[in-house]
Chains A and B, each alone.
Chain A
Amino acid sequence: EDQVTQSPEALRLQEGESSSLNCSYTVSGLRGLFWYRQDPGKGPEFLFTLYSAGEEKEKERLKATLTKKESFLHITAPKPEDSATYLCAVPSGGYNKLIFGAGTRLAVHP
């Protein structure tokens, strides 16, 4: 059964304190790994798609990387506006329904 596990569940950082979020996955035939950001009361906002091991993508203070078993979302010198829940997902089945992890709640304090 396809599965996604994210850690930690919650992370508190001081502004400027870099860290990484982990997404471990078990899927038969990876067809992409998606990172989303979700703010309270809003729908998930797309961040990145990674397709193959070794691939990296960057956007502002965020960098996503992928191996054959997991993905990392690295946050460099975070700011309070980076506070959100970060969700990881993989497509499953012939119709590409997404299997989501439970998310990591990130709080960045000034």
Chain B
Amino acid sequence: GAGVSQSPSNKVTEKGKDVELRCDPISGHTALYWYRQSLGQGLEFLIYFQGNSAPDKSGLPSDRFSAERTGGSVSTLTIQRTQQEDSAVYLCASSSSRRGSWTDTQYFGPGTRLTVL
């Protein structure tokens, strides 16, 4: 079946502009995660959605970052007033896990490479 998809695959923007990154999870997966992968930083957690529950935003680096998930499916990560340090690959993952479950695998999309000039 179809995996996690993300768009765009690449995004180049100017400092100070807003950007929106999109994630389509695997159909039927209730959990959705955003991660960021920077050179020298590795993969770091940003935000988590589970169904229609309030998201866990504990990994967002600043208030310029926000995300929403509509209808329990598609998610959009928005970065306002982009800075050069926001340049990274933004990865989305989904799983069928519910809160506290320890058995479910997170499947990743191909990522969006963001470059802020």
Complex contact A91–B102 (CB within 8 A): yes
Cα(A32)–Cα(B102), bound, Å = 6
Contact assessment for A100 and B42 in the assembled complex, using a CB-CB cutoff below 8 Å: yes
B111's partner among A42, A94, A99, A102 (CB-CB below 8 A) is: A42
Task: Write the chain B residue with the least CB distance to A91.
Answer: B102
Are A32 and B56 also in contact (CB < 8 A) when A42-B110, A96-B97 are? Answer: no
Query: How extensive is the interface on chain B, given as a class?
Result: 20 to 34
Residue B14 CB within 8 A of the other chain: no
- B107 on the interface (CB 8 Å rule)? yes
Contact between B56 and A46 (Cβ–Cβ < 8 Å)?
no
Q: Does residue B61 face the partner (Cβ distance < 8 Å to A)?
A: no
Residues of B78-109 whose CB lies within 8 A of A = 91, 93, 95, 97, 99-109
Q: Contact between B45 and A97 (Cβ–Cβ < 8 Å)? A: yes
Assuming A42-B110, A42-B111, is B102 touching A51 (CB within 8 A)?
Answer: yes
Bound complex: CA of A98 vs CA of B103, how far in Å? 13
Bound complex: CA A101 to CA B93 (Å): 17
Contacts of A86 in B (CB 8 A): none
Specify which chain A residues have a CB less than 8 angstroms from the CB of B48 in the assembled complex.
95, 97
Q: Does B105 lie within 8 Å of A46, measured CB to CB?
A: yes
Tell me the minimal C-beta distance from B22 to chain A in angstroms: 14
Quick check: A45 and B42 within 8 Å, CB to CB? no
One of A43, A98, A103 near B45 (C-beta < 8 A): A98
16 other A-B residue contacts (CB within 8 Å) besides A43-B4, A100-B42: A31-B102, A32-B102, A42-B110, A43-B108, A43-B110, A46-B108, A49-B105, A89-B43, A91-B102, A93-B56, A95-B50, A96-B31, A97-B33, A97-B48, A100-B43, A101-B42
Could you write out 7 A-B pairs with CB less than 8 Å apart?
A: A36-B108, A43-B108, A44-B108, A45-B108, A96-B101, A97-B45, A98-B106
In order of increasing CB-CB distance, the 6 nearest A-B pairs are A31-B102, A43-B108, A100-B43, A97-B45, A44-B108, A95-B48
